[in-house]
Structure 1
Amino acid sequence: MKQHYLTPLFEPASIAVIGASVTPGAVGTTVFSNLLEGGYAGKLYPVNLKHATVLEHKAFKTISKIGKPVDLAIITTPSKTLIELVTECCKYGVKGLVIMSCDFVGTADKSRDLLDKLLVICRQYGVRLLGPTVFGQARPVSKLNSGNYAGSIKSGSMALVSQSSSVASAILDWAESQDVGFSSVISLGSAVDMDVGETLDYLVTDPKTRSILLYVEDVSDARTFMSALRAAARTKPVMVLKVGRYDGGEKLGRTHSERLIGSDEVFDNALRRAGVLRLRSINQLFIAARVLPRNYKTRGRRLAVITNGIGAGMMAVDRAGDLHIQLPKLSQSTIARLDSFLPAQSSHDNPIDILGNASAARFHAATDAVLADENVDGVLVVFTPQMGTDHMATAEAMIALAKTTDKPILLAWIGGKKVVASRKLLAKHNMAYFSTPEHAVEVFWSLASWQYNQQLLLQTPGPLGEWDAPDLESARMILDNALANGRQGLDELESKAILRAFHIPVTTTVRAASAEAAVTAAMGMGLPVVLKLDVEGLTHKTDVDGVVLNLTTLMAVSSEANRLLGRARERFGDKLRGLTVQPMISLKHGRELMVGVATDPAFGPVISFGAGGIAVEVFNDVAVALPPLNEYLADNLIRRTRVKNMLGEFRNQPPADVHAIKSVLMRVSEMVCELPQIQHLDINPLIVDENGAVALDARIYVAPIPEKARRYGHMAIHPYPSNLVQVTQLKNGLPMTLRPIRPEDAEMIVRFVAGLSEETRYNRYMSTLKALSQSQLVRFTQIDYAREMALVSTVQGETGEMIVAVARFVVNVDYDSCEFAIVIDDRWQGKGLGGQLMEGLFTAARDMRLSTVEGEVLSSNTNMLAFMRRLGFEITRHPEDEGLKWVVKRL
């Protein structure tokens, strides 16, 4: 595997510290001292204009005087020196820069101008820049401590990424006292170049990082952020603390959805969809830092509580009730096992009180019995120091038990001076221990939530199965016409036409310019009818008494139409277009719902669902989700609202057709995926009963899209690229399907790799591996279509669908080129598969606006090289390996 392009920044072979000093308290002094004391094994060069040596190391006046390659330059001098120094570093061939100048004012125009100039210089030379940041970075697992931090950083398996130097330093100070270690500590600072997304991207590929802790203040590139988060969370636990949850002002908007959806709700949903757990406080962050290294997992929310003090145990029970954590009944076999050794006066059900004088052996036996219960997903052990207890022996018993189970054991070690030694022992063994039962319960809830979010991460909505394809041509024509006429808002008829194009049921709506035309329309559709004002730019007609319901006679239609038009002409003038007439839908068992779309500045389109009607903003019952949706995600969106309780059967009401609601949600998801012009949408009310759903009113607002926008570039999560699915045939006429890979293809990929010959495996993977590891399997099948593509060729075999070839590419950091690979089952070579797969890859690359496809081919693989020539690839010598050829095709 090629080295990650950020390796010179985070694991440099050589470092120059510009501004290295011996002045007490200076950043250059701290950084250079930390590198020496940390045992950095690479080449280290202090750069100082005034001193010949720094801490007994020869100093250089400028970086150009070093005369040897330098991977990383750390600049600690004042900001006024940066233009000259950064330019010199770039010209010298430095691969990465960290700016740690302390005199930056991040919000000042002057500083912003300087940062922009620095970025232009770095981009010109292809140099990556971290900061400006006061802290810098550390890589304890590689004995690299280049941070501006006066303390030791222990090596561990958890990475810390922070947008704040002060928060990073505070966490490190706490971690030092708690014996918590890190694989990497990275402070992004102003993030003029390197951001959260790229940093996470590096940590995903880092084998020394097993979990990630992230402190975020803002997100500048939601697509990159989500892409990297989802990639990381597929293989490693990721927890995020985000500040700035409240914007502090009243939100104004043109639609209900726009006003109801807050940016923090969107961020919260984005993290859930990414399979990430969100933390709510610095205290939770500290707790997460203690728990993450244990890599705990839980299958559900069922918690058993074992305590030697019922009062302390009830604290846990109360907090579990607050968080809706189940305290399950123990199985009869578990209760019988407890009965065999617990005193008669003990409580033998959940919570289990093993009495105040419980010995370490009693704690061990009770915990062991409960862990074996199939009704239990995790165990909380609450220890209180009392006469007869042994805190050290009990801690040792819990440490031993943790090695025998994959269920989480959480420990509430209550007390102070009496349990200090045993807490240190628990910390040494990375046990999840807490000073209060409530904290332990909260962690269990977090573990269960994280596991639930992992299920959301696995959802990759594909095409809508057997559903009718939308009429995209008609929908786009309506949108283009509105934009060409300078209109942002579609009227009700246009909005409903868009919904019909996506097969969402809507009420018939007819425009009437006069009372006579309204009567004619009413006769045509049948009574009773509804009249609505049709005014350009008027969103909420009920606010101006512009809706009349249930008109049962033609006389009433005429009278009300004249009344509405008379008042509206005086109030709205030329903006009045007339009236709309539609049938009165009065469903005996109907429920009023709302489905909407708003556009978040960072994350793009967001779908909302909740209670509808005129009081939608009063009840504020709304949940949000990022598209694309499938049935699982649509069902999840519905279940996160209070109105879900009205959709089931109650009193004399039959259950509503929830499948119809999910169908509307998935159709709206499809709509915003394919129509990036849509900025806001309201379907309110959406009436649903036992027979289906129908949209009574709709309003859409649009905006033009950038000329060179990538397909689905408006979305934080790239949908399944169903446009790349082809049903074709091989040279021998056998039917074949060519399509993007899906997570559920994992088993077929395992069989595919196992069936390859050693020669084919070596030509593709440059090794003779016989099977993919679990992490490789996840990485190959659960892809982010925004930055990579994998196409599979499938045929129908005796046991069903089978994969016979795979081609893939990964987008390079320049986002202008990609690196590809292709492998074909030996039995299916020579049948025309390769050409079709590669043409599919070329199409996908063009959709992403890429200009170049490139790759590595073994020099000995003459068949592949000949194939590359036929496809128009240019073949040259590989710049780094004589055993390889470099192949490049311009699209």
Structure 2
Amino acid sequence: MSTRYLENLFNPDSIVVIGASERADSLGGMVLRNLMGGEYAGRLLVVNRNDYDNVHGVPCVRKVSRMDFSPDLAIVCTPPDTVARTIRRLGEAGVRTAIVMTGGMSRTHSKTGQPLMYAVREAARETGVRVLGPNTIGLMVPKRNLNATYAHMGVIPGRVAFIGQSGTIASSVIDWAFARGVGFSYFLTLGDGMDIDHDDLIDYLAQDAQTRAILLHIENVPNPSRFMSAVRAASRTKPVIAVKSGRVPESEWVPHVLPAGVTRSDPIYDAMLQRAGVLRVDGLGQMFDALETLTRMRPLRREGLVIMANGVGPGVLAVDRLDHLEGELARLSDQTVKALAGLLPSYWTRRNPIDLNYDASPELYSRVIQILARDPEVANVLVMYSPSLTEDNLQIADAVIHAAKGTRLNVFTCWLGQSTVMDSREEFYRAGLPSFFSPEKAVTAFMQHIRHQRVQRLLTETPESFTDHFIDRSVTRRVVRHALSAGRYHLSNREARDLIADYGISTIETMYCDDMDEVLELFAVERRPVDVTIIHEQVCHPFLNLSPTQRRYKGTIQKLNSEQAIIEACRFLMEDYQFHFPKSGFLGFAVQRSYQHVGGIEFSVGITRDPVFGPLVVCGAAGAQINIMTDRQIALPPLNMVLARELLRRTYMYKLLKEHSLKPDEDIRAVTETLVTLSQIVIDIPEIKGLEISPLLFNEQGAVAVNIAVNLSDHAGKPIIQPYPRELEEWIVLPKSGRRVIIRPVLAEDEPAHRVFHERQSPESIRYRFFQYRKHFSREDVAQMVQIDYDREMVFIANAPREDGEGEETLGTVRTWTDADNLQCEFAVMVHDKMKGEGLGVTLMHKMIDYCRARGTVEMVGNVLPDNRPMLSLAEHLGFEVKYNLEEEVMDLRLVLNEPQKEWQRERLGKDT
């Protein structure tokens, strides 16, 4: 992940095209013609081994070594077997970025038996060249008149960036966008993406003030962790909309190796994009429809929709689509219904959707919108019009535009038809009102806006605390390590139960017997009905992929109330197990008292591991395998209560639980707590490869695990989202007050204490920290401070028990934001006014400096107001270089943490300083 040299790619002052000629089919010639046709103002040069003086009037040399200057960007269009050598020569000549348009390099093999692109990657790494491609359509930057592509047409300037993977898809996007009047700040495709990838480009575009939204076409994500970190940062400041192709195994270009318990890779991508705050859409058409609403509509205060049209039919179509997408109609207040009844025909239904009748005039459209604007329950209005002989659609459009102005309503329109309504659509576009061709498209785009706001809320939720991050789980970890050291890659049934019980998940009380005689002895003592389950090696592994015959296997017989019944049951279980699993070793019987649980709705929850995406938390129905696979939903750990509830909400079983449970709220919370706990287990014990609880049932105390299976791995991957770094916790004692304080990374659950901390600071302390006076901090403000990505940000807080014993209070905080290249981090620190003189600020700064130095960050920088003498004194004490910034009227602070090791680091830091 790096933005290294991307400035050369996006803003080159000079370009060399390698392999361009004047032949009509010359790829380099096409690129050169587009560069010249776009009126690129920078210096151009061609390299062609033929002895041309010029190509299309552009100077030409035979070899890279004969260039008389070092271009910012090279565009390589030579045969596959020459590309690696060309990249090496370019690097030696001082070129830092290259676009490789040559295709087929992932399928063309060199003498080593590897694809040729691997040799290109090696040459690029050795010489420090950043490479876009191979097999890319190229790059367009309209504001620079840069069209470095072989595309059939250019794009118009705008504020939307497009990053694609397929050149043919990109060509259609260019046509589509031009027809819709959508302009771009940047337009490019990754091709094979052997060096520059989604995350590099997203990091660059997130900081670009000219880019208001980012559109992504994704085929695969080779490094999900880097992608997540980049996209989560970008999506906090601008909409990110993605189309993911390859949704089914038959359409995947590179087949995805699926983890146990998962039948398709698409739900994994769904979970990743949702967690990153990205709006995923189903196609290019939906992408631009979503762009319309996200960039032209205000944030939605409410999710209900009012639909008004000059006829019943369009309104019915819109309501049908809204219901299909699980949207909701807004309820009209009695006052609104009464006001509308005075305008509409007597046969009006007096409810939403509102039928204005076929002869609705511009005045009627305007007055209805004005009435709706006075209704506090109405926030979003879809205005529709079907062509009519009685009224002029352009006049109605103007009336809608003027009525919508100055209201708090989100108004969007649907003028049905084509030839007679194009002028109206153009008027809506100029007025900034989204407009769509059909009711279905309009409602779908509106619901995409709602979905985007929902995933954005998940980025800033500050949930209640449930998982205890501070409990020692060393005993459980030793059990897992002992099994692995013994060469055993699964836990026994007893060990699996003990593991989840140690984390607070309730289990059915279970007794273990080595054979049938021990089961009979146990029954002689119990003298009550029991359930008997046979245990063998294979059922100790989670997510068994059973054959159709094995699905008829019966591993448990319930409610056995006599010795004879137990004898017959044990014999049947043994015979059935030996028939279906002849190679699986027998491990004994598990005996449970019957009627230990209430039963009812059965859930299957657990953990599985994807080879690319790492651990996944799964949730859905238990029972027949077809139901399990159909309902199984996926989320990425770590989870908190809000994220776990969202995972549960996506399952069909959630609807059954709400409708049929005697205690739906308590049961929903019980499942949610179980999911959060599973998320913590896989973070605490990375050797767990898979864990399945099936079924998870309910009793009076909450959720109860019945059957549990756990398998292990020596090389289990890490979560792609960095979890809470518990190893950074540290206890100190303040010298003056003797108070015991924990310094630790911030948690989202710290939001209430963090807000109190800021609100109780003096105005002067707030001004020093935020460079302005602030009287109030909203929940959203503070959520942004505590809901961090530990990969890009770090916040250490100093917390101590409150004097009244009610929880903790925050006494100080220090935070850093680190750039994508881990080159510079910007810091801010604040200590509670009552802590002055305790040395807490120095302690917090030392901890952050040590942390950033250990992770390889080169410099720490910050800005301080000139009259903030305490902070300036602290900075001088810590060794910061302090300079006055005349332009910003602040003091610039700079501390070298590590010496830069690479030339590009020295270049970048030289420019910054």
TM-score (norm 1): 0.86
2:319 aligned counterpart, secondary structure: helix
AA at the equivalent of 2:369: T
Q: State whether residues 308 and 356 of structure 1, in contact with CA within 8 Å, keep that contact through their aligned partners in structure 2.
A: yes
The residue aligned with 2:844 is 837
Moved more, 228-237 or 822-831: 822-831
Within the alignment, does 1:488 sit opposite 2:498 as a pair?
Answer: no
Instruction: Describe how 1:243-262 pairs up with structure 2 within 5 A.
Output: 243-248=245-250, 258-260=260-262, 262=264
Pairwise CA distance, 1:822? 4.6
The residue aligned with 2:547 is none
Moved more, 397-406 or 355-364: 397-406
Q: State whether residues 818 and 825 of structure 2, in contact with CA within 8 Å, keep that contact through their aligned partners in structure 1.
A: yes
Within the alignment, does 1:31 sit opposite 2:35 as a pair?
Answer: no
C-alpha distance in 1 between matches for 2:156 and 2:121: 33
The residue aligned with 1:253 is none
AA at the equivalent of 1:321: D
Pairwise CA distance, 1:460? 6.1
AA at the equivalent of 2:510: T
Moved more, 63-72 or 153-162: 63-72
2:420 aligned counterpart, secondary structure: helix
Measured against aligned partners, the alpha-carbon deviations of 1:366-397 in whole angstroms (never above 9, x if no partner) come to 22332443222311111122123222222333
The residue aligned with 1:888 is 897
The residue aligned with 1:288 is 290
The residue aligned with 1:730 is 734
- Change in Cα spacing, 1:357 to 1:638, as seen in structure 2 (3 Å) is same
Q: State whether residues 3 and 203 of structure 2, in contact with CA within 8 Å, keep that contact through their aligned partners in structure 1.
A: no
Instruction: Describe how 1:76-91 pairs up with structure 2 within 5 A.
Output: 76-91=77-92
Q: State whether residues 460 and 783 of structure 2, in contact with CA within 8 Å, keep that contact through their aligned partners in structure 1.
A: no
AA at the equivalent of 2:860: G
C-alpha distance in 2 between matches for 1:585 and 1:262: 37
Moved more, 782-791 or 827-836: 827-836
The residue aligned with 1:94 is 95
Pairwise CA distance, 1:98? 1.1
Instruction: Describe how 1:610-649 pairs up with structure 2 within 5 A.
Output: 610-613=620-623, 617=627, 620-648=630-658
The residue aligned with 1:151 is 153
- Change in Cα spacing, 1:178 to 1:643, as seen in structure 2 (3 Å) is closer
Within the alignment, does 1:183 sit opposite 2:188 as a pair?
Answer: no
- Change in Cα spacing, 1:577 to 1:312, as seen in structure 2 (3 Å) is closer
Q: State whether residues 647 and 658 of structure 1, in contact with CA within 8 Å, keep that contact through their aligned partners in structure 2.
A: yes
Pairwise CA distance, 1:21? 4.3
Q: State whether residues 9 and 97 of structure 1, in contact with CA within 8 Å, keep that contact through their aligned partners in structure 2.
A: yes
Pairwise CA distance, 1:188? 0.6
C-alpha distance in 2 between matches for 1:551 and 1:869: 78
Q: State whether residues 305 and 313 of structure 1, in contact with CA within 8 Å, keep that contact through their aligned partners in structure 2.
A: yes
Pairwise CA distance, 1:319? 1.9
Aligned Cα root-mean-square deviation (Å): 4.2
Pairwise CA distance, 1:423? 2.4
Q: State whether residues 302 and 326 of structure 1, in contact with CA within 8 Å, keep that contact through their aligned partners in structure 2.
A: yes
C-alpha distance in 1 between matches for 2:58 and 2:259: 63
AA at the equivalent of 1:786: D
Within the alignment, does 1:783 sit opposite 2:788 as a pair?
Answer: yes
- Change in Cα spacing, 1:322 to 1:362, as seen in structure 2 (3 Å) is same
AA at the equivalent of 2:593: P
Within the alignment, does 1:719 sit opposite 2:729 as a pair?
Answer: no
C-alpha distance in 1 between matches for 2:153 and 2:762: 50
Measured against aligned partners, the alpha-carbon deviations of 1:350-380 in whole angstroms (never above 9, x if no partner) come to 2222222223232222223324432223111
Q: State whether residues 275 and 455 of structure 2, in contact with CA within 8 Å, keep that contact through their aligned partners in structure 1.
A: yes
Moved more, 509-518 or 489-498: 509-518
Moved more, 163-172 or 770-779: 770-779
2:413 aligned counterpart, secondary structure: strand
Pairwise CA distance, 1:574? 8.2
- Change in Cα spacing, 1:294 to 1:51, as seen in structure 2 (3 Å) is farther
Pairwise CA distance, 1:612? 2.1
The residue aligned with 1:710 is none
Pairwise CA distance, 1:64? 4.8
Match of 2:611 among 601, 613, 637: 601
C-alpha distance in 1 between matches for 2:459 and 2:321: 28
The residue aligned with 2:223 is 221
Q: State whether residues 178 and 427 of structure 1, in contact with CA within 8 Å, keep that contact through their aligned partners in structure 2.
A: no
Pairwise CA distance, 1:305? 1.1
Q: State whether residues 797 and 812 of structure 2, in contact with CA within 8 Å, keep that contact through their aligned partners in structure 1.
A: yes
AA at the equivalent of 2:652: R
Pairwise CA distance, 1:792? 3.3
Measured against aligned partners, the alpha-carbon deviations of 1:715-764 in whole angstroms (never above 9, x if no partner) come to 12223334434453433235544333456488579769995679966xxx
Instruction: Describe how 1:85-164 pairs up with structure 2 within 5 A.
Output: 85-101=86-102, 103-110=103-110, 113-164=115-166
Specify every segment of 5 or more residues in structure 1 that has no aligned partner in the other structure, as ranges. 251-255, 707-712
Instruction: Describe how 1:659-738 pairs up with structure 2 within 5 A.
Output: 659-705=669-715, 714-726=718-730, 728-733=732-737, 734=739, 736-738=741-743
Measured against aligned partners, the alpha-carbon deviations of 1:315-351 in whole angstroms (never above 9, x if no partner) come to 2122223223222231223234434544556665322
- Change in Cα spacing, 1:556 to 1:356, as seen in structure 2 (3 Å) is closer
Pairwise CA distance, 1:20? 4.4
1:442 aligned counterpart, secondary structure: helix
AA at the equivalent of 2:273: L
The residue aligned with 1:305 is 307
- Change in Cα spacing, 1:468 to 1:415, as seen in structure 2 (3 Å) is closer
AA at the equivalent of 2:743: L
Q: State whether residues 656 and 691 of structure 1, in contact with CA within 8 Å, keep that contact through their aligned partners in structure 2.
A: no
C-alpha distance in 2 between matches for 1:333 and 1:306: 17
Within the alignment, does 1:473 sit opposite 2:474 as a pair?
Answer: yes
- Change in Cα spacing, 1:884 to 1:446, as seen in structure 2 (3 Å) is closer
Moved more, 345-354 or 277-286: 345-354
Measured against aligned partners, the alpha-carbon deviations of 1:262-297 in whole angstroms (never above 9, x if no partner) come to 321122122222222211123222423444432553
- Change in Cα spacing, 1:17 to 1:382, as seen in structure 2 (3 Å) is same
C-alpha distance in 2 between matches for 1:368 and 1:730: 62
Moved more, 531-540 or 204-213: 531-540
Pairwise CA distance, 1:561? 4.0
Match of 1:807 among 802, 815, 820: 815
Match of 1:271 among 265, 270, 273: 273
Q: State whether residues 849 and 897 of structure 2, in contact with CA within 8 Å, keep that contact through their aligned partners in structure 1.
A: no
1:537 aligned counterpart, secondary structure: helix
C-alpha distance in 1 between matches for 2:646 and 2:570: 43
C-alpha distance in 2 between matches for 1:130 and 1:202: 14
Measured against aligned partners, the alpha-carbon deviations of 1:550-573 in whole angstroms (never above 9, x if no partner) come to 222456445644665577679747
2:261 aligned counterpart, secondary structure: helix
1:700 aligned counterpart, secondary structure: strand
2:491 aligned counterpart, secondary structure: coil
Q: State whether residues 373 and 408 of structure 2, in contact with CA within 8 Å, keep that contact through their aligned partners in structure 1.
A: no
Moved more, 718-727 or 636-645: 718-727
Moved more, 784-793 or 104-113: 104-113
Q: Structure 1 vs Structure 2: percent identity of aligned residues?
A: 30
AA at the equivalent of 1:121: A
1:519 aligned counterpart, secondary structure: helix
1:444 aligned counterpart, secondary structure: helix
C-alpha distance in 2 between matches for 1:117 and 1:524: 72
TM-score (norm 2): 0.84
C-alpha distance in 1 between matches for 2:797 and 2:600: 46
AA at the equivalent of 2:436: F
Instruction: Describe how 1:199-210 pairs up with structure 2 within 5 A.
Output: 199-210=201-212
- Change in Cα spacing, 1:526 to 1:405, as seen in structure 2 (3 Å) is farther
Match of 2:198 among 188, 196, 199: 196
Moved more, 410-419 or 657-666: 657-666
1:457 aligned counterpart, secondary structure: helix
C-alpha distance in 1 between matches for 2:629 and 2:123: 53
C-alpha distance in 2 between matches for 1:822 and 1:436: 50
Pairwise CA distance, 1:401? 4.5
2:260 aligned counterpart, secondary structure: helix
Within the alignment, does 1:792 sit opposite 2:797 as a pair?
Answer: yes
Q: State whether residues 656 and 688 of structure 1, in contact with CA within 8 Å, keep that contact through their aligned partners in structure 2.
A: no
Within the alignment, does 1:364 sit opposite 2:369 as a pair?
Answer: no
Q: State whether residues 257 and 608 of structure 1, in contact with CA within 8 Å, keep that contact through their aligned partners in structure 2.
A: no
Q: State whether residues 34 and 148 of structure 2, in contact with CA within 8 Å, keep that contact through their aligned partners in structure 1.
A: yes
